[in-house]
Amino acid sequence: MPADDIPPECQKHGTRMTVRVFLTRVRVIQAVMIFMVMLVGSLAHAQNSGPSPEALEKARIANIKCFSCHEPAALEHPPQVGLDMKKLRAAVLDSDIFKKSDHGRLACTKCHTEGYTEHPHAADAKESTGTCSDCHSKKSVKIEAEFAKSVHAKHMADTFTCTNCHNPHLMRVAEKLSDPAKIVEQDNRVCLGCHDSDETFAKYAPEKKARPLIDDIHSWLPNTRLHWKSVRCVECHTPVSKDMLSHEILDKKKAEKKCISCHTVDSALNVRLYRHLVKDEQQKYGFLNSVILGKSYVIGATRNPLLDTLLIALAAITLVGVLLHGLIRFIAARLRRRNRHD
């Protein structure tokens, strides 16, 4: 490092400090910083790798106690006398389904924090239930910004929460579900749960807002119900987002209506429903977008370049062939006419 590069304050306070000593100190500081970065990184990794087996076992055992009352079976055979059955009916959950969900390995008390350890539970226990952002703080910043632009925020900003759509006891993220059919079934059940049910729609929708019939407002979409079996509502009702599905739910005016977004070689489905499977693309039978092919035939996107080239070439050969034939016929006829005149 040239002496000119030494900061002026060092030159001022360390008049006796040689360039060599200065460089040594800089290297030590650099080494310490690298060590700290590595330490923080490894700690973060340890955090991301999830709870220890001991902690998981502890959570599992603790949950058995909760499920002794909150399993559906408990409604028929209450484990204790004096339970408020009406309240319990609204709070039962199949433990097997819960275990398969993304939160299935967590202790119930991770979210249901205070007032739930004893029975009867504290009257205000519900108020202390944890929120999604307690754990998902980084994601929630992005999600909240997207949600603020969402059609749901427009009409229900005060009442709408994550759990309106995401049932924390049931849901799995798309990447873990992996099978597109399962992703579609799970996610569309959420949307259709309100938008295809007068009762649930009325529960959340603003007053006087009548539920539009879901088939009527999608009548422009060919094979409507089949589309809903193969793709999610959010394929069209969210803008494309780079890292994860956007939470900006678009209304019918802003939603994607161009069929060609999905129905083309560079299909948007590859960055949406099939985002997690694109890396598995195997060029099955020489088809483009063969990752989609396993589940759906998508007109315009399912293409076999070899077959396409062959058929285009055949059509071109036929066309050129007949034109050439016609030209030779024309020339031959003229020659014959000329010969006759001669």
Partner 1 sequence: MTERIYLLPLWLRLWHWTNAVLIITLGITGVSLHFANPASALVEFSLAVRIHDIAGVALACLYGFFVIANAISGNWWQYVPKPPGILARCWAQTRFYCWGVFKGEREPFRITLETNFNALQAVTYWLVMYMVLPLTIVTGLIFLYPQFAPVEMFGVDGLLPVALLHYLSAAVIVLFAIAHIYLGTMGTKLTSLFKTMITGWHEH
Residues that bind partner 1 (CB under 8 A): 220, 222-223, 226, 258-261, 263-265, 284-285, 293-297, 299-300, 302-303, 307-308, 311, 314-315, 318-319, 322, 325-326, 328-329, 332-333, 336
Q: How far apart are CA 219 and CA 275, in angstroms?
A: 28
99 vs 329, beta carbon nearer partner 1: 329
Q: Minimal distance in Å, beta carbon 223 to partner 1?
A: 7
Closest alpha carbon to 301 in 340, 335, 269, 342: 269
The residues near 163 (Cβ < 8 Å, ≥ 6 apart) are: 132
Q: Which CB atom, from 35 or from 330, has the smaller least distance to partner 1?
A: 330
Nearer to partner 1, 26 or 322 (CB): 322
Nearer to partner 1, 148 or 332 (CB): 332
Give me the least distance between CB of 219 and partner 1, in Å please. Answer: 12
Separation of CA 29 from chain center: 42
What is the total residue count of the chain?
Answer: 342
* Shortest CB 296 distance to partner 1, Å: 5
Q: Which of 27/284 has CB closer to partner 1?
A: 284
- Which value, to the nearest 10 degrees, does the dihedral of the CA atoms of residues 142, 272, 185, 292 take? -160
Phi, psi (degrees; rounded to nearest 5) at 303: -135, 145
Closest distance to partner 1 from the beta carbon of 261 (Å)? 8
Report how far apart, in Å, the C-alpha atoms of 179 and of each of 274, 290, 294 are: 9, 14, 10
Q: At its nearest, how many Å lie between partner 1 and the CB of residue 259?
A: 4
Which C-beta is closer to partner 1: that of 173 or that of 265?
Answer: 265
Question: Are the CB atoms for 254 and 264 separated by under 8 Å?
Answer: no
At closest approach, how far in Å is the CB of 249 from partner 1?
23
Shortest Å, Cβ 274 to partner 1: 13
Alpha helices in 50-94 (DSSP H): 53-70, 73-76, 85-89
Decide whether 49 or 339 has the Cβ nearer to partner 1: 339
Nearest CA to 294 among 175, 184, 179?
179
> Based on CB atoms, which residue is closest to partner 1, 35 or 297?
297
Which residues, including other chains, have CB under 8 Å from residue 197's CB and lie 6 or more apart?
211
- To which H or E segment does residue 174 belong? helix 174-177
Token digits for 43? 């700690």
Minimum gap (Å) between residue 297 Cβ and partner 1: 4
